[in-house]
């Protein structure tokens, strides 16, 4: 089955700086890569996703890139704000099997 | 749209008791997923249903866990008997038919087994 590795496990940045979270996956057939943000005590919520026929997608301060050859994808957050502090999960999906990374705890210091 | 609904939101029980978690998926969604989240193991897929039929239960930890989906708008996850190591947050999620459609999570049930 699919195996997703996520790095780093914790990330601390200064407000206004950029944050990058990286994930690798093992199954080359995976075709859908969502990113979820989970605030303390809340449910995971989709913030951005990318499909395998696209190399990059951007939504305001958030962007995701996908390298199918290398089987890795990354989340980029620019101009970070304290409200970006949360745990971020990447996931990779083939068919109906969605596997999550272990999560990255992002702290944005004011 | 009310989103995915789960109940109860919190459950505290004693070891050996039966626990039933409930989920109502988003109307029109064909897939329903049950996840367990712990600090040690992260987000784990336990089981998922397509059109009320269980498709993959390989993530169910052991026979003490069972799940049902009697109709398109209701699913249960039952633990009997419960053990302290079952303490976790259990999320239900649903999505439409396509494998690249967005998966929406419910608010979760925080289970504590004493």
- The verdict on a CB contact (< 8 Å) between A43 and B91 is yes
Which member of A42, A43, A51 has the closest CB to residue B100? A51
Q: Which of B50, B99, B105 sits opposite A44 (nearest CB)?
A: B105
Using a CB–CB cut-off of 8 Å, the residues of A that contact B are 31-32, 34, 36, 42-46, 49, 51, 89, 93-103
Q: What is the pLDDT of residues A64-92, one digit of tens each?
A: 999 999 999 999 999 999 999 999 999 99
Q: Residue A25 has what pLDDT?
A: 95
The residue of chain B with its CA nearest to that of A102 is B42
Which residues does chain B have with pLDDT short of 70? 1, 99
**pLDDT tens column, B39-62:** 888 899 999 999 999 998 989 988
Residue with tokens 């995915």: B4
pLDDT at A52 over 90: no
pLDDT band at A98 (very low <50, low <70, confident <90, very high): confident
Secondary structure (DSSP) of B41-86: TEEEEEEEEETTEEEE-TT--STTEEEEEEETTEEEEEESS--GGG
Residue A95 has pLDDT above 90, yes or no: no
Q: Would you state the pLDDT for residue A79?
A: 97
How would residue A62 be classed by pLDDT, with cut points 50, 70 and 90? very high
Q: Distance of alpha carbon A43 from its chain centroid, rounded?
A: 16
Are B19 and B11 spatial neighbours (Cβ–Cβ below 8 Å)?
yes
Provide the phi-psi class of A71: left if phi over 0, else alpha when psi is between -120 and 50, else beta.
left
A21 CA to chain B: closest CA distance, Å?
17
Q: What residues are paired with B90 via a beta bridge? A: B36, B109
Contact list, A93 vs chain B (CB under 8 Å): 99-100
Looking at residue B1, its pLDDT comes to: 61
Phi-psi region for residue B90, left (φ > 0), alpha (ψ -120 to 50) or beta? beta
């Amino acid at each position: 089955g699919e195996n997703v590795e996520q790095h780093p496990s914790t990330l601390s940045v200064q407000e206004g700086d950029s944050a990058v979270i990286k994930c690798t996956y093992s199954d080359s057939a995976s075709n859908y890569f969502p990113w979820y943000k989970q605030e303390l005590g809340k449910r995971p919520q989709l913030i951005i996703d990318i499909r395998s026929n696209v190399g990059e997608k951007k939504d305001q301060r958030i962007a995701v890139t996908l390298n199918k050859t290398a089987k890795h994808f990354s989340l980029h957050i620019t101009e970070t704000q304290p409200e970006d502090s949360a745990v971020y999960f990447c996931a990779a999906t083939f068919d109906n099997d969605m596997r999550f990374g272990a999560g990255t705890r992002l702290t944005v210091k004011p | 749209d009310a989103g995915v609904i789960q109940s109860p939101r919190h459950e505290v029980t004693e070891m050996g008791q039966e626990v039933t978690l409930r989920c109502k998926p988003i109307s029109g969604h064909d897939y329903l997923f049950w996840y367990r989240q712990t600090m040690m193991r992260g987000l784990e897929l336990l089981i998922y249903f397509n059109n009320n039929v269980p498709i993959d239960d390989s993530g169910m930890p052991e026979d003490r866990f069972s799940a049902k989906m009697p109709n398109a708008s209701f699913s249960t996850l039952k633990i009997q008997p419960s053990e302290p190591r079952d303490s976790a947050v259990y999320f239900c999620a649903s999505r439409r038919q396509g494998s690249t459609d967005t998966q929406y999570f419910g608010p979760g049930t925080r289970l504590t087994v004493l």
